[in-house]
């Protein structure tokens, strides 16, 4: 198959790229473009149109080529060939012209696009910067401020806005090919010649050292720990101060550094792992997902309301069921308030928010979910309560409806066995706040039908989530690992750490929040109540919960009561350390016979991360997670693990499995705790000299 073809259409040369699925700029495309441009330069055509087949214009460089030896011609060479063409080159955009794809378009003389097209430079999301002139050409077209905004956010811009900014010269109606050729003829007719972005002066008046410094500070906060955003500022600054060629060379050097960085390797790993996670091996490919046009949600609490918003946001009508009118009103009120906040932040218009709210109707009668295609139960976390709800659903829901539970820990096989249609039962585990967090654990029960699983995975994507398949076990993937991590926070605290030290060791690594600050936010009473329902044996080692219990019993429930592991300013919610907590910790340590010592930040970090990693290996071995990358996707999208560290299993791979195993063994020797023993799968891989990638095949 020719990935790039060239055709003469009367006075025009038409270069067409056809490299499914997204016309990425693989080596063959780059070579094809250079060849086609040379041909177009030589023949008697008057202008050249660059257009793509399939669903989109070029969506960027081929990410799978990064990390491998570079292949000629490079993308900057392709862009140079476009600019060297003696005739005007017109890019015709549809779908998403992203990254290197948009940089190709910026190297053309004119840009036309369908109204539905979007353009953007999302390299920053991969730990990169635009490396084919984007940081030099964009400021020349739209000025430094707008260029910095676009490149550092990585966000896409629709045709209308792009046209207002000056990035697109003409918005076209469909069909694109016909209208783009007409536009090119129009340009030829009026004698519009070559017009290069590189020849423009940057309109940078009033934008100097102070403004760049401000951007650097802002990005140090907004993109904490990430290197690429800072390099982007350097490049845009260079665009203002240096001639074009020097700017390009500077950008290229920064790009090469970024592409070789561990941060970019981690972010690229997450990019592919998220897409891989959507694939369920062994699932019969011929099964058609069931149609989901209407959804029911049982329970209008924070979780149920958040889930309802997810569906409404995707345009799917929802019936929200509560036990009584009072609870329902409270739940609907909470949803209204959430939408108001979104509108006040400027993230949604008032009318759009109203449209979405209209899609959510309330009821106190199970009969009202009789006609839904999917129902999700989000009630109190108790097996008895859940079984009662499922008995109602079994009675009222139509045949073929999918019955899902949002349980975080309970045995979904047991729930499934309690209804007459276990093949229709699946776990859909959302993360709080459900309308914000991207992760969705899809929990596979023993008897679930293939088309139910296929529906759940497809639906997850449809509502903008990243679905990951998990097996049934206590806590599935994410919460099962979290228990090990949270236990380490308690143990580090009682052994000698302070809340500040523990939290800052982890935020220093890049976690969105430290474990103790997270507990304060969630409310210490929640896990306290859960513990009360457990036997002494189930609760485990008292050192891992005695401080938390003591704080709750003093009325310190976390942020909501103004105090937990920290004290909170009632107005600003600003966090302060609290000597009272130190006293509690010391008293509990004394009671447990622990002599407190100084813990290094490294020990704290190691213990938290290795606790996650070791449990991750067990989860893989048991088949609870299908692939190491699935665990990484769970942690990055549901638990605030820094995407630029790639997730716990990627982190372990970077460290080297032998190193991980040795550190675990050292902790095992130091503490005598069996859970520090390297997981059998890890031991096996180290013994066989294999990596996780080898194991995953
Ligand atoms: C860059 O351009 C650097 C330059 O500045 C400098 C160079 C010197 N490469 O997401 P989907 C695959 S950096 C390779 O499920 P959607 C993807 O893996 C790049 N493969 O579809 C998947 O494969 P599979 C800047 C890619 O409709 C399939 O295509 N560009 C690439 O939900 C479908 O993807 C970006 O960062 C790629 N560039 O979304 C854009 N892109 O089916 C990254 C996709 O085997 N891409 N694939 O799993 C996207 O944001 C989305 O894929 C897109 C489509 C919006 C295009």
Report the distance separating Cα 144 and Cα 140, nearest Å: 8
Look at residue 268 and tell me if it is in a domain: no
Look at residue 279 and tell me if it is in a domain: no
Nearest protein CA to atom 19 of ligand 1, as residue: 60
Return the ligand 1 atom nearest residue 64 CA: 14
Look at residue 267 and tell me if it is in a domain: no
Instruction: Return the percentage of the chain with pLDDT > 70, whole number.
Output: 100
Please give the positions annotated as active site.
Answer: 103, 123
> Are residues 352 and 438 part of one domain?
yes
Query: Helix (H, G, I), strand (E, B), or coil: what is residue 467?
Result: strand
**Ligand 1 center from residue 59 Cα (angstroms):** 6
Q: Which of 591, 626, 653 is the last residue of a domain?
A: 591
**Ligand 1 center from residue 103 Cα (angstroms):** 15
User: What's the domain count of the chain?
Assistant: 4
Which residues constitute the domain of residue 625? 601-696
| pLDDT of the residue at 697 | 82
**Ligand 1 center from residue 176 Cα (angstroms):** 22
> Are residues 509 and 493 part of one domain?
yes
Ligand 1: residues with CB < 6 A are 21-22, 24, 59-64, 75, 96, 98-100, 103, 122-123, 126, 128, 130-132, 134, 275
**Ligand 1 center from residue 272 Cα (angstroms):** 9
What CATH number corresponds to the domain at position 515? Answer: 1.10.1040.10
What CATH number corresponds to the domain at position 431? Answer: 3.40.50.720
Report the distance separating Cα 602 and Cα 72, nearest Å: 43
Encoded tokens for 543: 């050192």
**Ligand 1 center from residue 274 Cα (angstroms):** 12
Return the ligand 1 atom nearest residue 122 CA: 36
Q: Which of 416, 440, 475 is the last residue of a domain?
A: 475
> Are residues 246 and 162 part of one domain?
yes
Report the distance separating Cα 440 and Cα 638, nearest Å: 8
Look at residue 327 and tell me if it is in a domain: yes
Encoded tokens for 619: 């989860």
* pLDDT at residue 392 greater than cutoff 90: yes
Mutate to test the pocket of ligand 1, among 20, 52, 59, 95 (most ligand atoms within 8 A of CB): 59
> Are residues 579 and 609 part of one domain?
no
> Are residues 428 and 491 part of one domain?
no
Report the distance separating Cα 135 and Cα 156, nearest Å: 16
| pLDDT of the residue at 404 | 98
The DSSP annotation for 159-178 comes to HHHHHHHTS-SEEEPSPHHH
Return the ligand 1 atom nearest residue 103 CA: 5
Q: Quick: pLDDT tens for 528-569.
A: 988 888 888 888 899 999 999 999 999 999 999 999 999 999
Nearest protein CA to atom 5 of ligand 1, as residue: 130
> Are residues 124 and 146 part of one domain?
yes
* pLDDT at residue 282 greater than cutoff 90: no
Return the ligand 1 atom nearest residue 62 CA: 9
What CATH number corresponds to the domain at position 117? Answer: 3.90.226.10
> Are residues 217 and 83 part of one domain?
yes
Q: How far lies 43's CA from each of 39, 87, 664, in Å?
A: 6, 10, 67
ipTM of model? 0.99
Computed over every residue of the chain, the mean pLDDT equals 96
Look at residue 287 and tell me if it is in a domain: no
CB proximity list for 189: less than 8 A, separation 6 or greater: none
Q: How many other β-carbons are positioned within 10 Å of the β-carbon of residue 510?
A: 16
Mutate to test the pocket of ligand 1, among 22, 136, 254 (most ligand atoms within 8 A of CB): 22
> Are residues 343 and 215 part of one domain?
no
Q: Quick: pLDDT tens for 45-70.
A: 999 999 999 999 999 999 999 989 99
> Are residues 145 and 85 part of one domain?
yes
């Amino acid at each position: 198959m020719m990935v790039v073809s060239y055709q003469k259409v009367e006075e025009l040369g038409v270069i067409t790229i056809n490299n499914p699925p997204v016309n990425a700029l693989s080596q063959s495309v780059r070579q094809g473009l250079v060849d086609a441009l040379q041909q177009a330069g030589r023949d008697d055509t008057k202008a050249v149109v660059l257009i793509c087949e399939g669903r989109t214009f070029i969506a960027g460089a081929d990410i799978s080529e990064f990390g491998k030896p570079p292949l000629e011609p490079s993308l900057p060479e392709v862009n140079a060939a476009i600019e060297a063409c003696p005739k005007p080159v017109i890019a015709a955009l549809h779908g998403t012209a992203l990254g290197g794809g948009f940089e190709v378009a910026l190297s053309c003389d004119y840009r036309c696009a369908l109204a539905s097209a979007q353009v953007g430079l999302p390299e920053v999301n991969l730990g990169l910067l635009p490396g084919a002139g984007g940081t030099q050409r964009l400021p020349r077209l739209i000025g430094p401020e707008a260029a910095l905004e676009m490149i550092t956010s990585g966000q896409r811009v629709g045709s209308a806005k792009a046209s207002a900014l000056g990035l697109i010269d003409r918005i076209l109606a469909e069909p694109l090919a016909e209208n783009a050729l007409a536009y090119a003829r129009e340009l030829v007719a009026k004698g519009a010649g070559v017009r290069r972005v590189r020849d423009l002066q940057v309109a940078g008046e009033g934008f100097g050292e102070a403004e760049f410094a401000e951007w650097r500070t802002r990005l140090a906060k907004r993109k904490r720990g990430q290197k690429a955003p800072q390099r982007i500022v350097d490049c845009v600054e260079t665009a203002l101060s240096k001639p074009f060629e020097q700017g390009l060379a500077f950008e290229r050097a920064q790009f090469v550094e970024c592409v070789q960085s561990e941060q970019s390797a981690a972010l690229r790993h997450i990019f592919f792992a998220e897409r891989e996670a959507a694939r369920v091996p062994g699932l019969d490919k011929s099964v058609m997902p069931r149609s989901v046009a209407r959804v029911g949600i049982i329970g209008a609490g924070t979780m149920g309301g958040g889930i309802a918003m997810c569906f409404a946001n995707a345009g799917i009508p929802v019936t929200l069921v509560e036990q009584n009118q009072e609870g329902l009103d409270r739940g609907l009120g909470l949803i209204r308030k959430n939408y108001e906040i979104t509108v006040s932040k400027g993230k949604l218009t008032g009318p759009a928010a109203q449209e979405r709210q209209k899609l959510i109707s309330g009821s106190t009668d199970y009969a009202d979910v009789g006609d839904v295609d999917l129902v999700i139960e989000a009630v109190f976390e108790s097996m008895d309560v859940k079984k009662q709800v499922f008995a109602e659903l079994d009675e009222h829901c139509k045949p073929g409806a999918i019955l899902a539970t949002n349980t975080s820990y309970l045995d979904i096989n047991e729930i499934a066995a309690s209804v007459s249609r276990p093949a229709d039962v699946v776990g859909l585990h959302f993360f709080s706040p459900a309308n914000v967090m991207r992760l969705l654990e899809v929990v596979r029960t023993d008897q679930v039908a293939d088309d139910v699983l296929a529906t759940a995975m497809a639906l997850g994507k449809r509502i903008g989530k990243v679905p990951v398949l998990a097996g049934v076990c206590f806590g599935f993937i994410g919460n099962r690992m979290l228990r090990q991590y949270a236990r380490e926070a308690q143990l580090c605290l009682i052994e000698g750490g302070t809340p500040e030290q523990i939290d800052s060791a982890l935020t220093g690594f890049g976690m969105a929040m430290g474990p103790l600050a997270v507990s304060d936010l969630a409310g210490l009473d929640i896990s306290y109540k859960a513990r009360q329902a457990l036997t002494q044996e189930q609760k485990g080692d008292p050192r891992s919960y005695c401080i938390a219990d003591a704080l709750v019993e003093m009325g310190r429930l976390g942020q909501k009561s103004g105090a937990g592991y920290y004290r909170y300013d009632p107005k600003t919610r600003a966090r302060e350390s609290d000597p009272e907590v130190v006293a509690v910790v010391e008293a509990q340590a004394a009671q447990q016979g622990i002599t407190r010592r100084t813990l290094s930040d490294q020990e704290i970090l190691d213990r938290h991360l290795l606790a996650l990693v070791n449990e991750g290996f067990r989860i893989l071995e048991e088949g609870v997670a299908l692939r190491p990358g699935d665990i990484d996707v769970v942690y990055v999208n549901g638990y605030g693990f820094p995407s630029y560290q790639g997730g716990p299993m990627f982190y372990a791979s970077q460290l080297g499995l032998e190193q991980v195993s040795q550190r675990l063994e050292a902790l095992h020797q130091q503490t005598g705790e069996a859970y520090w023993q390297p997981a059998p799968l890890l031991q096996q891989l180290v013994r066989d000299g294999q990596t996780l990638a080898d194991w995953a095949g």
